[in-house]
Structure 1
Amino acid sequence: MNETVVCVVGNVATPPVYREVAAGPTARFRLAVTSRYWDREKSAWTDGHTNFFTVWANRQLAVNVAASVEVGQPVVVQGRLKVRTELREGQQSRASADIDAVAIGHDLARGTASFRRAAKPEAPAAVRPEPNWETPPAGAPDSDPAQHQAEPAAVT
């Protein structure tokens, strides 16, 4: 497919908004990505232009984002870039850049993190009746030998 996959490093600009929808959990937050460059005249690093992206996470990634990501934290986001233009009546057209995230993590170049594996949601177990493993007493009225496993023969 011809999708634009990006990897951006920036700071979380808004608190994640988590929602349960019919298609599953979803979360979104704004990411500020500021370029930095070395200014030779000042002999110092200088901030350049800041781009803002809306990062969208779905399913388990959304659940983990809601539990792990806070405003101001440095993160690395990888996903599909989608640029949208919107025309409202009486206004200029407006463009927004969204990232449909595949992976999100804290930027360990700027801090530490402690990883905890997320608990997998348990699938409903198939309901199967438990077989009766007890051997009925000899001469029991409803003992059907076909319903019970034979005991293994002793090896001599």
Structure 2
Amino acid sequence: MNETMVCAVGRVATQPVYREVASGPSARFRLAATARYWDREKNVWTDGHTNFFTVWANRQLATNAAASLTVGEPVIVQGRLKVRTDVREGQNWTSADIDAVAIGHDLAWGTSAFRRGGKPETAGMPVQSEPNWETSPDSSAATEASAAQPPAEPAVLT
């Protein structure tokens, strides 16, 4: 299936709204993307048309976006564009939504400090050990023996 992937650069126009729903965390905010152009007559940069998008984030991206974004911050959003049209109360209505895959601060306007987020809660889920991918399935005895021994110290090159 073909999807329209877009990368929109703009500013956070509304405070992100975070919700816990049955399918997991969800967040949404409005993104304002204003075109700018050089006005030769006035010899200044001028704002053009502003496009507004509703950005939707899910799961861990929703949690991180809600904790990281505030109104007015410059951001870059990548995701699937979804344009919907409808008729409400006799008026044609169109919305442009972005189902976000990635959201980040636009570092052309300032600095940002990355902090790794916590792991999602796994309460009640059994802990499973990682299989040893370097051995074949029929060498389970070798796998158990290698799991009992600590890893060798790495070599240091001088």
Q: Please indicate, yes or no, whether the TM-score normalized by the shorter chain is above 0.5.
A: yes
Show the counterpart of 1:100. 99
Q: How big is the shift at 1:122?
A: 4.5
The DSSP-based 3-state class of the residue aligned with 1:87 is: strand
Show the counterpart of 2:43. 43
Deviates more, 1:4-13 or 1:113-122: 113-122
TM-score norm. by structure 2 comes to 0.77
Could you tell me how far apart the structure 2 residues matched to 1:61 and 1:45 are?
34
Show the counterpart of 1:7. 7
Could you tell me how far apart the structure 2 residues matched to 1:126 and 1:106 are?
35
The DSSP-based 3-state class of the residue aligned with 2:37 is: strand
Q: How big is the shift at 1:15?
A: 0.4
Q: How big is the shift at 1:22?
A: 0.4
Structure number, greater radius of gyration: 1
Q: How big is the shift at 1:126?
A: 4.1
Show the counterpart of 2:132. none
Show the counterpart of 2:140. none
Q: How big is the shift at 1:125?
A: 3.1
Show the counterpart of 2:52. 52
Which deviations, in whole Å up to 9, do the C-alpha atoms of 1:2-49 show, x marking residues without a partner? 111000100000000000000000000000000001111111111000
Show the counterpart of 2:18. 18
The DSSP-based 3-state class of the residue aligned with 2:56 is: strand
- Unpaired runs of 5+ residues, structure 2, are 129-158
Could you tell me how far apart the structure 2 residues matched to 1:121 and 1:5 are?
27
Residue 79 of structure 1 aligns to which amino acid in structure 2? G
Give % identity.
75
Show the counterpart of 1:137. none
Could you tell me how far apart the structure 1 residues matched to 2:73 and 2:96 are?
20
Could you tell me how far apart the structure 2 residues matched to 1:51 and 1:74 are?
15
Aligned residue pair count: 126
TM-score norm. by structure 1 comes to 0.78
Q: Is the 2:60–2:120 Cα contact (8 Å) retained in structure 1? A: no
Stretches (4+) displaced over 6 A: none
The DSSP-based 3-state class of the residue aligned with 2:61 is: helix
The DSSP-based 3-state class of the residue aligned with 2:117 is: coil
Could you tell me how far apart the structure 1 residues matched to 2:127 and 2:32 are?
46
Residue 76 of structure 1 aligns to which amino acid in structure 2? I
Show the counterpart of 2:31. 31
- Unpaired runs of 5+ residues, structure 1, are 128-156
Which deviations, in whole Å up to 9, do the C-alpha atoms of 1:56-88 show, x marking residues without a partner? 000000000110000000000000000011111
Equivalences for residues 143-154 of structure 1 within 5 A: none
